[in-house]
């Protein structure tokens, strides 16, 4: 299946470094066997926004492809497109789906604003990437063991990306404690940011901007990042020099 969306192109490339990507011709299956509870790691990629009458069909396809695993309690669709077409939103909502709207922002390395870091910043060794799980847990909106397991598995994936030479993670430190971090994964002629996170007491001090600048200074490829529209992250990325390249929409029916 030909993919137009930069968000999905990079997402498929990321997924292939951890799990499986299977092209069925009219849709794509992403599976992450080591984390069946990863909502956006086990999903169907659709060719376009689902229209009226199609939601039940795609839900059955998800069940055929991924639903046989009892550990997968969600249903997630992410469809190709660059304009933010959400399709049959009423039908999706009636079926229990939440609509997720995001934007893909891009920049050339030379366009990312330089910044004087208020705290020391450096690249992390592979084993140090594991410490980003603690950051992710603290800044997350959940604080249960399921979420802790999720972020620990994600950090282990980040470590493997560094070990394989596919990514670099950066962190800002207060003393010897990392208080903010991000990853930059190299995917051919583009590099995508992952997991930009700052502890709440340190926000608003330019730390995230400094991390973005540090990463951009060490790459020569086009940069991409996916952000929620209207979020604090979007405003940080705009100030750093990123511009919106496309709008993307997905839907997830979360477990009860």
- Enumerate the β-bridge partners of residue 29: 22, 44
Number of domains in the chain: 2
7-19, pLDDT tens digit by residue? Answer: 999 999 999 999 9
pLDDT category of residue 178 using cuts at 50, 70 and 90? very high
Rounded to the nearest 10 degrees, the angle between the axes of helix 232-240 and helix 207-216 is 50
% of residues, the chain, pLDDT over 70: 100
Give the pLDDT score at 231: 85
Written as six digits, the tokens of 233 are 């992250």
Give the pLDDT score at 226: 96
* Rounded Cα gap, residues 50 and 21, in angstroms: 21
Same domain assignment for residues 201 and 145: yes
Instruction: Pick the closest to residue 206 from 116, 110, 106, 107 (CA basis).
Output: 116
The CATH number covering residue 92 comes to: 3.40.630.30
* Rounded Cα gap, residues 42 and 32, in angstroms: 6
Same domain assignment for residues 55 and 78: yes
Other beta carbons within 10 angstroms of residue 252's beta carbon come to: 19
Instruction: Pick the closest to residue 42 from 8, 79, 23, 67 (CA basis).
Output: 67
* Rounded Cα gap, residues 46 and 5, in angstroms: 12
pLDDT category of residue 229 using cuts at 50, 70 and 90? confident
Q: Which domain holds residue 201?
A: 113-240
Same domain assignment for residues 64 and 168: no
Give the pLDDT score at 159: 98
76-127, pLDDT tens digit by residue? Answer: 999 999 999 999 999 999 999 999 999 999 999 999 998 899 999 999 999 9
């Amino acid at each position: 299946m030909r993919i137009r969306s930069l968000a999905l192109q990079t997402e498929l490339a990321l997924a292939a470094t951890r799990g499986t990507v299977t092209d069925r011709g009219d849709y794509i299956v992403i599976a992450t066997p080591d984390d069946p509870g990863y909502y956006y790691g086990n999903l169907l990629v659709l060719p376009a926004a689902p229209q009226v009458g199609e939601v039940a069909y795609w839900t059955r396809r998800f069940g055929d492809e991924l639903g046989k695993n009892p550990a997968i309690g969600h249903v997630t669709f992410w469809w190709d497109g660059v304009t933010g077409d959400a399709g049959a939103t009423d039908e999706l909502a009636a079926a229990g789906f939440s609509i997720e709207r995001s934007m893909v922002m891009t920049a050339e390395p030379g366009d990312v604003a330089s910044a004087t870091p208020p705290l020391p910043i450096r690249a992390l060794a592979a084993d140090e990437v594991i410490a980003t799980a603690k950051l992710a847990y603290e800044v997350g909106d959940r604080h249960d063991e399921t979420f802790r397991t999720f972020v620990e598995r994600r950090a282990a994936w980040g470590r493997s990306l560094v070990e394989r030479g596919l990514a670099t993670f950066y962190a800002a430190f207060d003393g010897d404690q990392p208080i903010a971090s991000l990853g930059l994964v190299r995917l051919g002629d583009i590099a995508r940011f992952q997991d930009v996170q700052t502890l709440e007491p340190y926000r608003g001090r330019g730390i995230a901007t400094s991390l973005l600048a540090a990463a951009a200074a060490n790459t020569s490829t086009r940069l991409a990042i996916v952000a929620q529209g209207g979020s604090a992250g979007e405003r940080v990325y705009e100030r750093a020099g990123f511009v919106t390249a496309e709008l993307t929409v997905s839907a997830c029916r979360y477990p009860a």
